Amino acid sequence: MLPKGCPTATKKPNLVKVLITGGAGFIGSHIAHHFLQAGQEVVVLDSLRSGRCNVDQSILTRGSVTDYELVEHLAAGARTIFHLAALVSVPESLEKPHECVDINVQGTLNVLRAARRHGVGKVVLSSSAAIYGDDPELPKHENMRPAPKSPYAVTKLDGEYYLAMAAAEWGVATVSLRYFNVYGPRQDPASQYAAAVPIFVQRAREGLPITIFGDGEQTRDFIYVRDVVAANLLAAESPAMTGVYNVARGESLTILELARNIRDLLGSCSPIVHGPERPGDIRHSLADISRLLATGFRPTVSLDEGLRETLAQ
């Protein structure tokens, strides 16, 4: 169903240049702002399931990617669909596997069907390194056998397979970007399932204890959101980019080091304390980014620079 008062409902479909599902969220809003600053037309489809809206209401259509009629309506005239809408949390997906499949798999299929119907130039899926699971092989490269441990990871892998299917069978140009750990301004610290960086920043700012789940020796490959936006732009514009690409810096950091870095940058006295390990959590994560580098892409923001920019917001 099309929502009443939907701001895009009266627009001519051929004026819609870029559709961003989940575009009111953290990463999607950075993609949206890039195109708005470049003077291009942007339509965001977001259910605001996350409870936050990081874009202006004028570009927002509030609705769900599970609503095919709506997705098809918004896809008309789109040059690119950046598909980010998802149930994004591993622990939440373990609690609500059916909802996770509904949003992440049915939603992705809706985007692909709509792209086929309207001859959209490219679909770029925000996928996840969660697909690699706990395979001890490091660094993770795209040809490894997937080992998803959660409904979230399984549905992201499903999405990648559906994108490959749509490219092969329907002639829809697609590309899947497997993000590792993305951080930057506008990342929500308040959610029950929030990521480490915004929570650590908030706790350190308030001088409160920073809780690390487990011993803190687990590693992650952090990439700043500006670099992730750049990877999306390249993926959208480069006909040669198809299939799956890791998106990361190719450098790992322990969670304990991350907490100490944030604390030091803020000059905070927050103590670091340890809680129980979280179910579904992966021990080590480090990307092989040679496939991405072969496209000419280079991550440009160091951890120090990215954290400073994040803290400046």
Ligand X SMILES: NC(=O)c1ccc[n+]([C@@H]2O[C@H](COP(=O)([O-])OP(=O)(O)OC[C@H]3O[C@@H](n4cnc5c(N)ncnc54)[C@H](O)[C@@H]3O)[C@@H](O)[C@H]2O)c1
Residue 50 interacts with ligand X (CB under 6 A): yes or no: yes
Judged by CB under 6 A, the residue of 8, 66, 219, 285 near ligand X is 66
**Residue closer to ligand X (CB basis): 182 or 268:** 182
| Chain CA centroid to CA 129, Å | 10
Compute φ and ψ for 35, nearest 5 degrees: -70, -35
Residue 179 interacts with ligand X (CB under 6 A): yes or no: yes
Report the C-alpha dihedral over residues 179, 183, 184, 186, rounded to 10 degrees.
Answer: 90
| Chain CA centroid to CA 199, Å | 18
Site string for ligand X, 88-127 (x = CB under 6 A): x--------------x---x------------------x-
Compute φ and ψ for 11, nearest 5 degrees: -75, 150
Closest CA to 213 of 178, 249, 258, 266: 258
| Counts of helices then strands in the chain (DSSP H, E) | 11, 13
Tell me if the bond preceding 139 is cis, omega within 30° of 0: yes
DSSP bridge partners of 140 = 287
Residue 190 interacts with ligand X (CB under 6 A): yes or no: no
Min dist. Cβ of residue 181 to ligand X (A): 5
| Position with the least CB separation from ligand X | 25
Judged by CB under 6 A, the residue of 27, 76, 153, 196 near ligand X is 27
Orientation angle between helical segments 107-118 and 151-165, nearest 10 degrees: 20
Min dist. Cβ of residue 248 to ligand X (A): 10
Min dist. Cβ of residue 48 to ligand X (A): 5
Segment near ligand X (CB under 6 A); pick from 26-34, 132-140, 206-214, 291-299: 26-34
Segment near ligand X (CB under 6 A); pick from 10-18, 48-56, 73-81, 213-221: 48-56
Judged by CB under 6 A, the residue of 20, 25, 82, 142 near ligand X is 25
Taking the alpha carbons of 28, 34, 38, 39 in that order, is the dihedral positive or negative? positive
Q: Say how many CA atoms lie within 13 Å of 247 toward its Cβ.
A: 30
**Residue closer to ligand X (CB basis): 60 or 76:** 60
**Residue closer to ligand X (CB basis): 21 or 219:** 21
**Residue closer to ligand X (CB basis): 44 or 166:** 44
Total chain residues near ligand X (CB under 6 A): 28
Taking the alpha carbons of 184, 224, 307, 313 in that order, is the dihedral positive or negative? negative
Segment near ligand X (CB under 6 A); pick from 11-19, 80-88, 167-175, 296-304: 80-88
Q: Give dist(CA 196, CA 189) in Å, integer.
A: 8
Beta strands 219-220; 80-83: pairing state: unpaired
Residue 65 interacts with ligand X (CB under 6 A): yes or no: yes
Which residue do the tokens 């509030």 mark? 62
155, 88 contact by CB (below 8 A): no
**Residues in 230-269 that interact with ligand X by CB under 6 A:** none
Residue 159 interacts with ligand X (CB under 6 A): yes or no: no
Which residue do the tokens 């890039």 mark? 34
Residue 22 interacts with ligand X (CB under 6 A): yes or no: yes
Segment near ligand X (CB under 6 A); pick from 16-24, 213-221, 230-238, 265-273: 16-24
Binding residues vs ligand X (CB under 6 A): 21-22, 24-28, 45-50, 64-66, 84-86, 88, 103, 107, 126, 128, 179, 181-182, 195
